[in-house]
Amino acid sequence: MTKLTEIDLEFDFSDAIDAMQFDDPAYHGGNTIKRVDFIIEYENLYRFIEVKDPDIPGVANRDGFLTKLRSGQLIQSLSGKYRDTLFFRSVQNKADKKIEYIVLLSMARLDAALLLNKQDQLHRSIPLSHSDWPADSAAVCVILNMEQWKRRFGDNSIRRLSAGTP
């Protein structure tokens, strides 16, 4: 079973061929490349996953995160992480499958309309397609909250470690 952790969230990627913590500084050394948290490999695709978890118990500045989200700063950061990761993987010759970019925003008080609006902004900021490209840069690009993540990937695909449940 392949499990990866991002602070207080544990992800189960047992159905994957490979799962790596892509933002590990030991892997990248001192370069300034922006990177997604995880790259998960399946038979026909790579899934780039970025996790933002302002609902961590005891977090000091949830309102600051919401301000960053509403101002567009977060979207610029998310698109930069995707583009730099795609560049890195392309130079490695590891962009040979379709790519899904999944952003998890585990903030319970986010409403669905704001998530959709930010997802549209992310699509434009990456960008996903261009008339000179033979294919889209990502086959899927979504921003999900915890509930949406569990519906898409299963209830056991993620758990909050501080909740103490297996």
Q: What is the pLDDT of residue 156?
A: 94
pLDDT tens track for 49-98: 999 999 888 777 777 888 898 899 999 999 999 999 999 999 999 999 99
Distances (CA, A) of 11 to 18, 34, 47, 50, 155: 13, 21, 13, 12, 11
In this prediction, residue 166 has a pLDDT band, given cuts at 50, 70 and 90, of: low
Q: What is the pLDDT of residue 1?
A: 58
Backbone φ and ψ for 148, nearest 5 degrees, come out as -65, -40
Locate the domains of the chain by residue range. 23-154
Strand, helix or coil at 144?
strand
